[in-house]
Copies of this chain bind each other. A is one copy, B any other.
Amino acid sequence: MTDSNQDRHDWHELAQQLRVDSVRSSSLAGSGHPTSSLSAAELMAVLIAKHLRYDVSSPHAANNDHLIFSKGHASPLYYAILLAIGAIGEEEFETYRRLGSRLEGHPTPVLPWVDVATGSLGQGLPIGVGVAMAGKKLDRLPYRVWVLCGDSELAEGSIWEAAAQASYDKLDNLMAILDVNRLGQTGPTRYEWDLDIYAQRFKAFGWQTIEIDGHDVAEVDAAYSKAAATEGRPTAIIAKTVKGKGVSAVENKNGAHGKPVPDEAAAIEELGGRRNIRLKPQLPDGKATAHAFRGGGALALPTYEKGSQVATRKAYGDALLALGKADPRIVVLDGEVGNSTYTETFAKEIPERFFQMYIAEQQMLSSAVGMHVRGWKPFAATFAAFLTRAYDFARMAAVSRANICLCGSHAGVSIGEDGPSQMGLEDLAMMRAIFGSTVVYPCDANQTARLLALLADQPGVTYMRTTRQATPVIYGADEDFELGGSRVLRSSADDALAIVTAGVTVPEALAAAATLAQDGIAARVIDLYSIKPLDLATLSAAANDIGHVLTVEDHWPEGGIGEAVFSALSTAGTGVKGELLAVRHMPGSATPEQELAEAGIDRTAIVAGAKRLIGG
């Protein structure tokens, strides 16, 4: 390449190299998506040769541009780029899709140049929006975010949540490159090569749009220049491309998705043979530093008086503000329910680090992941029920090795009258089944504050479950808790059973234990506030001492506290006789007290369950 990286002939050669290398790696692996890579070769060649500002040797440099492959299945093309820019060598390049390789079937951040894992379509652009929001509103740096999208994934609603967010936030640092190659996995896309339809939609969503021939390097170059020079709105470059471009055996042919080309040697020959172009993208301004917000200092968590009545969601809001004051890298996002989740407490005092995401939970999580990419510490909250809307994004956040803290409020039937659509009754199952997650479920305000402070320093996807109703403060403000811990609230030498619960049913368990005591039945009560990891030592001790364990949870029976406890005990070698109280009917509307009673998880039900258990 020339020094300037700006020669059109060289761009074409580079594009052909990216094609050849895409064919090579997928043929060697025996799987992968070369045809989806071939369509975007010019789009990427021109980008890395001229427009991308990126220090390959310092992938986390503050002012680097970001390149996100929303169409993660085009990983052959992505890895061909890494080879061309010298991020990886030929030896590693040839490990594509093999055991132990960093070059996975879809890119993940095990490679330091990859910001986030993609491969679940419709996620790269929303996360790119999050990175661009960080650039504009947090880092306040001029880096750009380039997102390569497929045309098939434009059917995902998350794309349009992202499109709305991007124009609303005037993200002129965001460029979506739409590789409209007409063919999806099984056949033509809905709109094939009707670029105008995409253009109309992005325009209506407030974007600048530029329609080009995606194989004409001059058009690609001009489009990028125009996009980069545009202020006040994001740009969608809508590129007409040909899937499998350059390899006649697969070019624009249905049925060639997701498999190596039929004849590698013929394809490489047709593409003009192997090349060995190596180039570096231009460097970003190395001196620019990210904005830092004022503040910081010692953490002063809120405290609550023992015996008072405070909802854990309220304490979450108070603690979040305290954490935000102590750590200026903390940012908060909410799905337009901040007066329910109490993120409004933070928003009122620290508006510059609060992001109103409106009712777009997928974008809320994506923005959180995008801000994590730039080292911010995102806390995102909505109703526990509505986090189900973004489960794929939480799942992928774990693959992205993202550190984000989620809060689901209004968990369980105890919300009362609003009814089942608003009751998070599967959130523990859902969040426990996120790789590497931490899940806590506090029962009182002081515990909420302490646990949230611990989550702030915990890597991975963390989750706090809060509840709507005010509950009694049972812990002093000076009590310590730990992730993986629990608290024995009541015990004696002659305990006949252990009651294990957390959250809103802890007061119910204590009341039940008091009633049972009157009947001469001693019950140990364990507050299992850390649902994942579990305090196996305390549980095992109870199991060994007593042998009867009753669990109670305001959650469906599947995947929650009871299953976690009984399987942990069994695999620790301590089989017990158990009773699992959970919500086993479809709730309707009623008061919180009635709901707990109807679900069979209130104090009366616990007493009855305990007698059943030890009598049985």
**Chain B residues closer than 8 Å to A588, beta-carbon distance:** 99-101, 104, 108, 110
Q: Is A230 an interface residue (CB 8 A)?
A: no
**Chain B residues closer than 8 Å to A316, beta-carbon distance:** none
The residue of chain B having its C-beta at the shortest distance from the C-beta of A103 within the complex is: B589
A358 to B121, CA, bound (A): 12
Copies per assembly:
2
Q: Is A524 an interface residue (CB 8 A)?
A: no
A31 and B417: CB pair below 8 A? yes
A97 to B120, CA, bound (A): 40
A184 to B344, CA, bound (A): 14
Interface residues of A in 349-392 (CB under 8 A from B): 356, 358-363, 385-386, 388-389, 391-392
Q: A186-B338, A432-B559, A559-B559 are known contacts. Are A388 and B395 too (CB-CB below 8 A)?
A: yes
Binds B, one of A136-144, A201-209, A237-245, A265-273: A201-209
A225 to B467, CA, bound (A): 46
Q: Is A505 an interface residue (CB 8 A)?
A: no
B559 and A570: CB pair below 8 A? no
Contact of A161 among B106, B155, B386 (CB under 8 A): B155
B153 and A359: CB pair below 8 A? yes
A343 to B200, CA, bound (A): 33
Shortest C-beta distance, A179 to chain B (Å), equals: 14
Q: Is A436 an interface residue (CB 8 A)?
A: yes
A426 and B155: CB pair below 8 A? no
Q: Is A72 an interface residue (CB 8 A)?
A: yes
Give per-residue flags for A52-74: 1 if the beta carbon is below 8 A from chain B beta carbons, else 0: 00000000000000000000100
A161 and B157: CB pair below 8 A? yes
Q: Is A590 an interface residue (CB 8 A)?
A: yes
**Chain B residues closer than 8 Å to A579, beta-carbon distance:** 571
B360 and A157: CB pair below 8 A? yes
The residue of chain B having its C-beta at the shortest distance from the C-beta of A593 within the complex is: B99
Contact of A99 among B158, B576, B591 (CB under 8 A): B591
Shortest C-beta distance, A566 to chain B (Å), equals: 4
Q: A391-B430, A563-B559 are known contacts. Are A420 and B586 too (CB-CB below 8 A)?
A: no
Q: Is A299 an interface residue (CB 8 A)?
A: no
Give per-residue flags for A414-432: 1 if the beta carbon is below 8 A from chain B beta carbons, else 0: 0011111110011001101
Shortest C-beta distance, A434 to chain B (Å), equals: 7
A190 to B591, CA, bound (A): 33
Could you list 12 A-B pairs, sorted by A, with CB under 8 Å? A99-B588, A108-B420, A117-B420, A121-B359, A152-B358, A157-B161, A164-B190, A204-B205, A398-B586, A399-B421, A433-B560, A436-B586
Measured CB to CB, the residues of A under 8 A from B are: 29-32, 72, 97-101, 103-106, 108, 110, 117-122, 152-153, 155-161, 164, 168, 184-187, 189-190, 197, 200-201, 203-205, 336-340, 344, 356, 358-363, 385-386, 388-389, 391-392, 395-396, 398-399, 416-422, 425-426, 429-430, 432-436, 532, 547, 549, 556, 558-560, 562-567, 569-571, 573-580, 586, 588-591, 594, 598, 616
